[in-house]
């Protein structure tokens, strides 16, 4: 995606994609949070942000484009959702499916960026999406993994924060231009499980 992307309400298609990913891991969905998108829909990648409703109103309603709103939760590329650490923050305490619970040794190596080996898995809950939230014994989220053969490959983990050296180095993910996004707007709404 271009570095400068318009923060906007997600399209219905984007919301459906995010909802499917969320529901793979949490029957309760994202509680009390709005979902916003940045980037042109249907082209390149779209960044997904989980935002408290008061902040999303602020970010969309102000005259000035924000640099960031809420937490960077995921990225949609080619119709596929790549979950990020922010989504685990948003699902904190609510992950009840699509997870791996790992032992202390597996936790330590996973947080160094390594994969999870079968012997480190204490409990597995199937994931229809293919991605697994990796949890420690306290069910605190450590990162995301995807099954690759016998191992669960590390997609992203909480240790990147240290390993990245300079915290926050990298391209801006949500630098917003003043471009009007009205044409692509759809209603932002909290993502919940079907009732």
Partner 1 sequence: MRSALERLSEGLALARGAVERGGGLAPRELAALAERHGAHPDQVARYAELLGSREEVEGMLGAREGDVMRTLRANTLRVDRDELASRLEAKGASVRPYRHTPYGLVVEESPIPLAAYHEHLLGLFYIQGPASMLPVLALSPEGASRIADAAAGVGGKATQISQHNPRSPVIALDVSERKLMALKANASRLGAFNIVAYLMDARGIGSLGEFDRVLLDAPCTGEGLMPFARGRRPRPQGEVESAARVQVELLESALRSLGPGGELVYSTCSTNFEENELVVHSVLEALEDSGAGHFSLVDTGLDFGDAGAVEYAGISLPSQFRLCRRFYPHRHATEGFTICRIRRS
Residue 23 interacts with partner 1 (CB under 8 A): yes or no: no
Q: Classify burial at 176, counting beta carbons within 10 Å of its beta carbon; exposed 0-12, middle 13-18, buried 19 or more.
A: buried
Q: Is the Cβ–Cβ distance between 35 and 187 less than 8 Å? A: no
Residue 90 interacts with partner 1 (CB under 8 A): yes or no: yes
Residue 62 interacts with partner 1 (CB under 8 A): yes or no: yes
Specify the residue, 34 or 115, whose C-beta has the smaller distance to partner 1.
Answer: 34
Residue 52 interacts with partner 1 (CB under 8 A): yes or no: yes
Among 29, 39, 70, 120, contact with partner 1 (rule: CB under 8 A): 70
Name the DSSP letter for residue 170. Answer: S
Residue 174 interacts with partner 1 (CB under 8 A): yes or no: yes
Of 2, 5, 15, 7, the residue nearest 61 (C-alpha): 7
181 phi and psi angles, rounded to 5 deg: -105, 15
Among 17, 18, 71, 100, contact with partner 1 (rule: CB under 8 A): 71
35 vs 49: CA distance, rounded Å: 6
Among 11, 89, 125, 184, contact with partner 1 (rule: CB under 8 A): 89
Among 39, 98, 120, 159, contact with partner 1 (rule: CB under 8 A): 159
Looking from the CA of 42 toward its CB, the CA atoms found within 13 Å total 4
Minimum distance, C-beta of residue 87 to partner 1, in the bound complex (Å): 9
Minimum distance, C-beta of residue 158 to partner 1, in the bound complex (Å): 4
Q: Strand, helix or coil at 147? A: strand
Residue 145 interacts with partner 1 (CB under 8 A): yes or no: no
Of 26, 69, 17, 23, the residue nearest 46 (C-alpha): 17
Give me the residues that bind partner 1 (CB under 8 A), please.
33, 50-52, 54-55, 57-59, 62-64, 66-72, 84-86, 89-90, 92, 107-108, 111, 136, 140-142, 158-159, 161-162, 166-170, 172-175
């Amino acid at each position: 995606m271009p570095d400068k992307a318009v923060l906007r309400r997600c399209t219905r298609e984007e919301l459906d994609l995010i909802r499917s990913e969320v529901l793979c891991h949490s029957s309760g969905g994202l509680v009390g949070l709005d979902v916003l998108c940045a980037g042109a829909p249907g082209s390149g990648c779209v960044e997904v942000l989980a935002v408290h409703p008061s902040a999303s109103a602020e970010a969309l309603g102000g005259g000035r484009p924000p640099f960031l709103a809420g937490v960077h939760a995921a990225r949609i590329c080619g119709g596929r959702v790549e979950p990020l650490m922010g989504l685990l923050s948003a699902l904190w305490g609510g992950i009840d499916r699509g997870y791996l619970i790992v032992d202390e040794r597996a936790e330590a190596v996973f947080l160094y960026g390594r994969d999870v080996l079968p012997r480190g898995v204490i409990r597995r809950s199937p994931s229809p999406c293919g991605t697994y939230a990796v949890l420690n014994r306290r069910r605190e989220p450590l990162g995301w993994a995807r099954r690759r053969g016998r191992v669960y490959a590390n997609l992203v983990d909480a240790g990147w924060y240290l390993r990245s050296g300079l915290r926050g180095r990298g391209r801006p993910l949500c630098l917003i231009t003043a471009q009007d996004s009205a044409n692509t707007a759809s209603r932002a709404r909290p993502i919940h499980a079907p009732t």
